[in-house]
Chain A
Amino acid sequence: MTVLDVRDLQTHFFTDTGVVKAVDGVSFSLGEGEVLGLVGESGSGKSVTGFSILRLVDPPGRVVGGQINFRGQDLATLSARDMRSLRGNRIAMIFQDPMMTLNPVLRIETQMVEAVRAHDRVSHAAARDRAIQALSKVGIPSPEERLAAYPHQFSGGMRQRVAIAIALLNGPDLIVADEPTTALDVTIQSQILAEVQELARDTGTALIWITHDLAVVAGLADKICVMYAGRIVETGPTDAVLTAPGHPYTEGLLGSIPGHGRRGERLTQIPGMAPNMARLPLGCAFAPRCARASDICRTAAPEITDIGPGRALRCYHPAPMAEGVA
């Protein structure tokens, strides 16, 4: 069953220097227990997409178009009150920097109990029990004692586990995880990755895992959306995208992962820099960095085109392998 269906989402920032189309026509959908990997370089609009789903985009940003259908209701038009009752309850979010997401002057207990009681009329003791369960689920030793601690008494990895426990508190249908392991070291990163994957599988929670690192979602996601300059440039089942990338940008991302490059090839970096979102080129936003760019790429932006079951591409000259699928 579909949990989330985003259609043509547009989130723009109205800055002094002009309108930044941080998210420009993004669509994807996600079923129960499914994991979607949202991949792209920094600045491509991944976080803004995540915040748009929770309607937490700060001014000067605003969702200006599209639908965010969550279990049949459009979040884009939901009242502020109804939206609040969904947040942290049916839809939870985990942020990138665990050092900043917990309030430094409040005990873990306060921060967890309030998250339960914002949605459920339960006693403090009952909420506390739920907090203890959630903490032990994410592997925090002696959770009962740790409740009395302040965030600074935890390491970065432990803080992120606390944040994940908070996200799990009310058994949400959807969790948006915005690069939750990026700030952590590699061992802890893979531990947390494995745990979250297991939790999502056990509870049937749908998961949007945002990352700039294709390798992270390779073993985790059912399907992948590759974002570039506010748009999805390639999407499809994880295996298909990883084995036969169609978009030059996806190829570039794959080429920069150790072990994923094709036989005998050296690791490659995508040349050039992420585009200035306030001043995008006329045609394909990737054209200035693309080896296959032709004249048409520089004059008109390509449309997203289906090329197979669940697969779509936004490119005039996709890799031959992907075309074969169509």
Chain B
Amino acid sequence: MLVFLLRRLAQSVFVLIAMMIVVFFGVFMIGNPVDILISPDATPLEIEETMARFGFDQPVHVQFLKFVGNALQGDLGRSFVHGESAVSLILSYMPATLELALLGLIFSVAIGVPLGVYAGYKADRWQGRTIMTGSIFGFSLPNFWVGMLLILIFAVELRWLPSTGRGDTVEVLGLRLSIFTADGFQHMILPALTLALYKASLVTRLARAGTQEALMQDYVKFARAKGLSETRILVVHVLKNIMIPIITVLGLELGSMIAFAVVTETVFAWPGMGKLLIDSILTLDRPVIVAYLMLTVIIFIVINLIVDVVYTLLDPRVRVKGDAA
């Protein structure tokens, strides 16, 4: 276990280095930040001074080494637009994204697992086929389209739920969160549903496949031979077995959920990291873009590590070893 963790850690460092190179040179290509930093009527001298202050007059490789050196100290530069450290800027937007992604994840399990188990149980019937067809829509409908549809139905037509912003927030453990206030939670429902739709389809498919496989196992037949009800067999015997792979996959997907909340946050004007990224791209705020990409990679790496550990904890066969009676 320890060896395994160390190896994963070493791999992560390589990924991080590779990402630094890709991110830095990639972003370096996307236009000249000087255009937005300096007013159009500045004198050539002023321009030169600004260039020197930000280090833009140096050769690329010097800039890169300086970037790496600073990055190692947790400094990814200052936002050109906000003036504040890019890392702390993103961190201040992060709670909004995290709570949205988390609620989205919960929604996708709450929707996907029951649908998938039922579809697996009725695999050859119309119920199962209908659910599977539905999940194809979940996969293929674009996020922004779903978001706007939900806004149209639930915010504009029915006026049940708000469609923009975070609503009331409350400070919990030093983080500003919406999820713990009634108003904030209402604001989260539509964007979280939008974010959940794709994952819910994924979970449905996973749960269906798992259920179909579990239903063929001897332990299900034995459970039936014990006279258990079909409901108990599905909810206890099957579900407990299929949750392990589902949680693994979902854990891995949490990273992409956070990273790709970009579109959803934009549609719902949700002030999270994703919206910050879009705004930063529009203003060519290079340090923020770089910091966002780097942080996202780190989030991915950390989540993968956690999932590996949780997985071993969840499966009793992996957890307890070598004490067969």
**Which residues of chain A have a CB within 8 Å of any CB of chain B?**
54, 56, 58, 84-89, 92-93, 95, 97, 100-106, 110, 114-115, 118-119, 146, 149-150, 152-155, 158, 163, 166
Provide the B214-257 mask, 1 if CB < 8 A to any CB of A, else 0: 00111101111111110010001100110010000000000000
Given A153-B320, A153-B324, the answer on whether A118 and B240 have CB atoms closer than 8 Å is: no
For A166, the chain B residues whose CB sits under 8 A away are 226
Chain A residues whose C-beta falls within 8 Å of the C-beta of B325 in the assembled complex: 146, 149, 153-155, 158
Task: Name the B residues within 8 Å of A163 (CB-CB).
Answer: 222
User: Which residue on chain B has the smallest CB distance to residue A55?
Assistant: B224
Main secondary structure of the interface of B (DSSP, over half): helix
| Interface pair B320/A93, CB less than 8 Å apart | no
User: B225 contacts A89, CB within 8 Å?
Assistant: no
Roughly how many angstroms separate A87 CA and B218 CA in the complex, as a whole number? 16
Which of B232, B236, B316 has its CB near the most chain A CB atoms (within 10 A)? B316
B49 part of interface (Cβ distance < 8 Å):
no
- Contacts of A155 on B, CB cut-off 8 Å? 324-325
> What are 17 A-B pairs at a CB distance below 8 A?
A56-B221, A58-B221, A84-B229, A88-B226, A89-B227, A95-B221, A95-B225, A103-B219, A103-B237, A104-B317, A114-B228, A118-B227, A118-B229, A152-B317, A153-B323, A155-B324, A163-B222
Top-3 shortest CB links A-B: A88-B227, A88-B226, A100-B218
Cβ of B315 within 8 Å of any chain A Cβ, yes or no, is: yes
Chain B residues, Cβ within 8 Å of A149: 325
Q: In the complex the two chains form, what is the Cα distance from A95 to B224 in whole Å?
A: 12
CB-CB under 8 A from A88, the residues of chain B are 225-228
Q: How far is the CA of A115 from the CA of B223 in the complex (A)?
A: 8
Least CB distance from A72 to B in Å reads 20
Partner of B227, one of A86, A150, A152, A158: A86
> Which residues of A have CB within 8 Å of B244?
105
Return the chain B residue nearest A152 by Cβ: B317
**Contacts of B221 on A, CB cut-off 8 Å?**
56, 58, 95
A163–B218 CA distance with the chains assembled, in angstroms: 12
Indicate the member of B218, B219, B224, B226 with the most A CB atoms within 10 Å. Answer: B226
Min CB distance B159 to A, Å, is: 45
B241 x A56 contact (CB < 8 A) = no
Query: Which A-chain residue is minimally distant from B322 (CB atoms)?
Result: A153
Q: Are B225 and A118 closer than 8 Å at their CB atoms?
A: no
Question: Please, which residues of chain B bring their CB within 8 A of the CB of A101?
Answer: 218-219, 222
Q: Which of B225, B232, B315 has the most CB of A within 10 A?
A: B225
Q: Given A106-B237, A150-B320, A155-B325, verify A114-B224 contact (CB < 8 Å).
A: no
With A and B bound together, what is the CA distance between A155 and B320 in angstroms?
14
Closest residue of chain B to A98 (Cβ to Cβ) is B218
How many angstroms from the CA of A154 to the CA of B317 in the assembled complex?
Answer: 12
A-facing residues in B300-325 (Cβ within 8 Å): 315-317, 320, 323-325
How far is B224's CA from A105's CA once the two chains are assembled, in angstroms?
17
**Known A54-B225, A106-B236, A153-B325; 12 more pairs at CB < 8 Å:** A56-B225, A88-B225, A88-B227, A89-B227, A92-B225, A95-B222, A100-B218, A106-B240, A114-B226, A153-B323, A158-B325, A166-B226
A87 touches B241 (CB 8 A): no
A100, B219: Cα distance in complex, Å: 6
Q: How far is the CB of B256 from chain A (nearest CB, A)?
A: 27
User: How distant is the Cα of A58 from the Cα of B216 in the complex, in angstroms?
Assistant: 9
Which residues of B sit under 8 angstroms from A85, Cβ to Cβ?
A: 227
Task: Tell me whether B224 and A56 are in contact (CB under 8 A).
Answer: yes
| Cα–Cα, bound, A242→B229 (Å) | 42
Count B-side interface residues using an 8 Å CB cutoff: 26
State the Cβ distance, B311 to closest chain A Cβ, in Å: 13
Contact of A118 with B317 at beta-carbon distance under 8 Å, contacts A95-B218, A158-B325 already known: no
Name B249-304 residues within 8 Å CB distance of A.
none
> A103–B241 Cα gap in the complex (Å)?
8
**Which of A92, A97, A105 has the most C-beta atoms of chain B within 10 angstroms of its own C-beta?**
A105
Contacts of A92 in B (CB 8 A): 225-226
| CA of A150 to CA of B318, assembled, Å | 12
CA distance A205 to B323 in the complex (A): 35
Cβ of A270 to closest chain B Cβ, rounded Å? 29
Q: Are B320 and A105 in contact (CB under 8 A)?
A: no
Residue of A nearest to B224 (CB): A56
A4, chain B: closest CB distance, angstroms: 16
Shortest CB-to-CB span from A56 to chain B, Å, is: 6
Could you tell me the distance between the alpha carbons of A97 and B222 in the complex, rounded to whole angstroms?
11
Bound CA span A146–B151, Å: 55
- List B residues 12-56 near A (Cβ within 8 Å): none
Chain A nearest CB from B134 CB (Å) reads 25
| B218 x A104 contact (CB < 8 A) | no
Report B134-154 CB contacts with A as 1/0, cut-off 8 Å: 000000000000000000000
Could you tell me if B217 and A114 are in contact, using CB atoms closer than 8 angstroms? no
- Contact indicator A154/B226 (Cβ below 8 Å): no
Alpha-carbon gap, A166 to B323, bound state (A): 23
Q: Are A105 and B226 in contact (CB under 8 A)?
A: no
Query: How far apart are B77's CB and chain A's nearest CB, in angstroms?
Result: 49
- Report the minimal beta-carbon distance from B315 to chain A, rounded to whole angstroms: 7
Cβ–Cβ < 8 Å partners of B222 in chain A = 93, 95, 101-102, 163
Q: Tell me the complex Cα distance, A118–B241, Å.
A: 21
CA distance A94 to B218 in the complex (A): 11
Instruction: Among A87, A100, A118, point to the contact of B217 (Cβ < 8 A).
Output: A100
Cβ–Cβ contact B219 & A104, under 8 A: yes
In the complex, chain B residues 192-225 whose Cβ is within 8 Å of any chain A Cβ: 216-219, 221-225
Q: Please report the C-alpha to C-alpha distance between residue A83 and residue B250 in the assembled complex, in whole angstroms.
A: 39
Report the separation of the CA atoms of residues A93 and B223 in the bound assembly, to the nearest whole angstrom. Answer: 10
Q: Closest A residue to B243 by CB, please name it.
A: A105
